[in-house]
Structure 1
Amino acid sequence: MAVKKNVSVISVEKPTWFPLTDDTGTFPIYGEPTTIGTAVSIKPDVTTETTPDYGDSVVQDQYVAFGGAEVTLETNGYQNEVLAEITGGEKLKGGVLRSADDIAPDGAFAYRRRKSNGKYRYTIFYKGKFALTSDESSTLEGSSVSYTHPEWTGSFVDVPGVGYMYSVDEDDDGVDLDMIKNWFTKVTNPREESTNPVSGVTLDKTELVLTVGETATLTPTIAPENATNKNYSFKSNDISIATVTPVQGKVTAVTAGTTTVVVTTEDGNHTAECSVTVNA
């Protein structure tokens, strides 16, 4: 196990919103991500609710429950399209009409923070709503500029069976690097079993010359070697000339002619071919 020195968080980056489209399954389904803006600062706060149990006028026990999480985010401006999508405002003539009837949609919120060792800490909240709570501006005073930043406030709840937040450092032991790579393209489910996708398949032979009644066996090699799903199936393009067993890859010559035997992987539908010539 690697021993890491204590490091500080020095910046926040890539605040990203995933609209929630369906939460009836074991894990919510989310839509395409939207970058809220460039982040200036972020402050997540978690509240708890404590219920004491008294006996003989003193607390004998207590129950502490999650009461919600609030995220305050400052960005360098925003686009009206983003404002409409996140707050539920109506897009009209290039702008956003906001009203008391707006219903902000639920969604997930992801971001990362850079640490002083150059590595990143990744965080995601699974279900909540954002509101633009401050859009202050200052006037230009001669050559003096005072920068102000819009402030977003997000309120997040727990998702039964999932949780309310997940956080991981890219230099943690056992981290899933594919999960880190896709952090801002899909909402991560840390309980989901990690998989290694198939990248290709090859055959030990690319040509076979057989006589009628003769047999030969083709052997596929799946890449990478540690691919999770190595299932495949064989098929002959013309079974009147040569047949092949779906899994074993045993080719049997039937009648004179030429055909192709194809192997296809279950994961990714990668293929490899072998030309089969049958002589009488």
Structure 2
Amino acid sequence: MAKTGQIGLDNLHIALRENDENIKADTTLKIAGLVTADVEIDMYSESLYADDVVADVVNGFSEGTVTVELLGLSLDEYAKITGQEIVKGVVVDNVNVVAPELAMTFRSLKSNAKYRYVSIPKVKASVKGESFKTREDGVEVVNAEIEFSIIPLENGVWRVRADEDGKEVDAAFIKSFLTSFPQSATTVSSLSKAAKKEVVA
């Protein structure tokens, strides 16, 4: 199969997770206006010594983030992501509010017109402030930026990816991917029940 590059990005979905690591019913939200999504991870490397030489090297996941840039963020979306309360369209930010655990998915168009699907099963969000600027002769759009901290699941899984044109990839798995927030390489897992819930536009 010829190699392909990533040329597009869309369909950001988030949902609230419950303490038992299931998706909370009726919380799936599709957020429009996805501009960029940068996944960055830090790995640790530890050398183990014996008899005055390196006997083994242990590598592992240290921490990771997904930085998302959006063409604007509504107050409803902001409240869902940060956990802040919204009442009659009004958001009052409170330092005592703890950001909720979320699941997130998105997809990236490849140069062969097929999609790569990405699921980050467990994250916490931090909205990086808010910028305002007076209007001048030209129009400059100020985008919203959100940093999601990646939290590995108890079994160690922190990301699931699939190419829709990949060998032996199940079509039903791909079809429900964005709204089921998979955390397994072979099945949609117990989170698949979220796919049956109506997506909030």
TM-score interval, smaller chain: 0.7 to 0.9
Asked if residue 16 in structure 1 is aligned to residue 13 in structure 2, the reply is yes
Q: In the TM superposition, what is the alpha-carbon distance from 1:168 to its structure 2 partner?
A: 0.6
Asked if residue 186 in structure 1 is aligned to residue 198 in structure 2, the reply is no
Query: Unpaired segments of 5 or more residues in structure 2?
Result: 190-201
Q: Return the structure number with greater helix share.
A: 2
1:115 to 106, 110, 125: 110
Larger Rg: 1
Work out whether residues 108 and 125 of structure 1, in 8 Å CA contact, stay in contact via their aligned partners in 2.
yes
Question: What code does the residue aligned with 1:16 have?
Answer: H
* Aligned-residue CA RMSD (Å): 1.9
**Distance between the aligned counterparts of 2:140 and 2:153, measured in 1?**
41
- The residue correspondences of 1:136-215 to structure 2 (distance < 5 A) are 136-142=131-137, 144-161=138-155, 163-188=157-182, 189-192=184-187
CA deviations 1:62-112 (Å, max 9, x no partner) are: 211111220000001111111111101111331211121111110111000
Question: What code does the residue aligned with 1:10 have?
Answer: I
CA deviations 1:132-171 (Å, max 9, x no partner) are: 11422332212x1122210000001211236111001000
**Distance between the aligned counterparts of 1:169 and 1:118, measured in 2?**
11
Match of 2:22 in 1: 29
Match of 1:236 in 2: none
**Distance between the aligned counterparts of 1:118 and 1:137, measured in 2?**
37
Q: In the TM superposition, what is the alpha-carbon distance from 1:45 to its structure 2 partner?
A: 0.6
Q: Which range moved further: 85-94 or 47-56?
A: 47-56
Q: TM-score, normalised by structure 1?
A: 0.62
Q: Which of 1 and 2 has higher RCO (CA within 8 Å, sep 6+)?
A: 2
- The residue correspondences of 1:269-280 to structure 2 (distance < 5 A) are none
Q: TM-score, normalised by structure 2?
A: 0.85
Moved runs in structure 1, 4+ residues, more than 6 A? none
- Name the SS of the counterpart of 2:77 in structure 1: helix
Q: Give the percent of matched residue pairs that are identical in Structure 1 and Structure 2.
A: 26
Q: Return the structure number with greater strand share.
A: 1
Query: Unpaired segments of 5 or more residues in structure 1?
Result: 195-280
CA deviations 1:181-233 (Å, max 9, x no partner) are: 11222222433389xxxxxxxxxxxxxxxxxxxxxxxxxxxxxxxxxxxxxxx
Work out whether residues 39 and 74 of structure 1, in 8 Å CA contact, stay in contact via their aligned partners in 2.
yes
- The residue correspondences of 1:214-233 to structure 2 (distance < 5 A) are none
Q: In the TM superposition, what is the alpha-carbon distance from 1:48 to its structure 2 partner?
A: 1.2
Change (3 A) 1:193 1:20: closer
Asked if residue 51 in structure 1 is aligned to residue 28 in structure 2, the reply is no
Asked if residue 39 in structure 1 is aligned to residue 34 in structure 2, the reply is yes
Match of 2:68 in 1: 73
Change (3 A) 1:193 1:14: closer
